[in-house]
Structure 1
């Protein structure tokens, strides 16, 4: 299971059978794919831009699609690639997990009008254990394997619901930064994307209240 798929499961709310804040989650999943490509040696940082070079396919459909996107395009900054296709990647990862049998998905309409997804996690115990491992990684100390560090850093930076309280994130700020530094350039790009999204949401809310 790749990093993006693990993060999608962490973002699920098994009790309410939904995935909250899907728009923000899209940035997290894009950053996860980019970070994993860096960890696998498929992407390098050249002037604050990802460079694919002659990287071989990973045999992971999601990662290879992102790698192909970058290979075809002109050099662009990491923040561009974190934001690129952030809506569609949520659907892609959801579909991949459904095919693998990790979740099942059905559609419904709220108030008979607005489409929504009912997402059932087939192994909520395993997901709960994964949440606890990530919490321990963020609030603890010591070195972690690169993939585990990336998972914890991206989950914390993306502020996935049910993972850490605002107080815990503040108390673990330095630790989160340490873990994020190991993710490569996609980590800071995700942090900026989340910050911009929160600012835009706050501005929209303030404007609506006037």
Structure 2
């Protein structure tokens, strides 16, 4: 399962509604899909503070969300990560939903009441999300994180929803302790390989993308 698909499940309740009405959910999907494409060795990120993305291998990947994100990234080859994370055309939530529905994990309920009632994605098969949450529980308790686990934690923290989404998995960790543990995981994984560096860079990009608009609006 893609990191982006796992994020999709974590950000929604079993009844298909979002965990909350976060304004920046799309940033998370963009970050996750970019990480998935780094893992697939289709793109790479430079070592700059705000890394630039380079396409290594263009073309389809036989997954609707990856294919759509890849087409957009091919058009934006060489751009900075900070601008890609906030690019709505990279965040392919509907394609992720379609792939999960095709796999029998969720069901898509179309918009109703002339669009006033949004689409919902009720869970049909809960085992995939349970496995993800168990992995994250182990990592937060001190276990070794795989790149995908580190990416999920970094994105949830960047969206500022980690305490809520991981309410059970964090065990006795308070909000500050949870943040500290996620930062530890990010630092550790960054020393591992190119994927780890991408995860760490993504964490920084996510935090900047979410926090800066809030600070600007608060000071205006």
TM-score in terms of structure 2 length: 0.74
In the alignment, the residues of structure 1 paired with residue 77 and residue 40 of structure 2 have an alpha-carbon distance, to the nearest angstrom, of 22
Q: 1:148 to 1:43 in 2, by over 3 A?
A: same
Cα deviation digits, residues 25-45 of structure 1 (max 9, x gap) = 211111011112222322222
Number of aligned residues: 201
For residue 106 of structure 2, the aligned residue among 103, 106, 124 is 103
Are the structure 2 counterparts of residues 67 and 87 from structure 1 closer, same or farther at C-alpha, using a change threshold of 3 Å?
A: closer
1:114 and 2:116 matched: yes
Cα distance change on mapping 1:140 and 1:65 into 2, 3 Å: same
Q: 2:193: which partner in 1? A: none
8 A Cα contact 1:107 1:118, kept in partner: yes
Maintained 8 Å contact 1:26/1:86 = no
Q: 2:182 aligns with which of 176, 179, 202?
A: 176
How many Å separate the matches in 2 of 1:133 and 1:178? 16
Instruction: State the partner residue of 1:85.
Output: 88
Q: 1:54 to 1:103 in 2, by over 3 A?
A: closer
Secondary structure of the residue that 1:188 maps to in structure 2? helix
Q: CA RMSD in A?
A: 3.2
Where is the strand percentage greater, Structure 1 or Structure 2?
1
Q: Supply the distance in 1 between the matched residues of 2:200 and 2:40 (Cα, whole angstroms).
A: 12
| Structure with a larger share of its residues in helix | 1
Gaps of 5+ in 2: 191-195
Decide whether aligned partners of structure 1 residues 34 and 179 sit closer, same or farther in structure 2, where only a CA change above 3 A counts. farther
Change (3 A) 1:108 1:37: closer
2:140 is equivalent to residue 131 of structure 1:
no
Alpha carbons of 1:56 and 1:114: their partners in 2 closer, same or farther (altered >3 Å)? Answer: closer
The 1-side partners of 2:7 and 2:202 are apart by 15
The higher-RCO structure (CA 8 Å, 6+ apart) is: 1
Alpha-carbon offset, residue 84 of structure 1: 0.7
Shift of 1:140: 2.3
Q: Does the CA contact (< 8 Å) of 1:23 and 1:86 recur in 2?
A: no
Question: Is the contact made by 1:17 and 1:119 (CA closer than 8 Å) also made in structure 2?
Answer: yes
Q: Does structure 2 retain, via aligned residues, the 8 Å contact 1:27–1:86?
A: no
How far residue 146 of structure 1 moved from its aligned partner, in angstroms, is 1.9
Residues 108 and 116 of structure 1 are in contact (CA less than 8 Å); yes or no, is this contact kept in structure 2?
yes
Pairs within 5 Å for 1:58-77:
58-77=61-80
1:98 to 1:23, Cα distance in 2 relative to 1, 3 A: farther
* CA distance in structure 1 between the aligned counterparts of 2:89 and 2:212, rounded to whole angstroms: 14
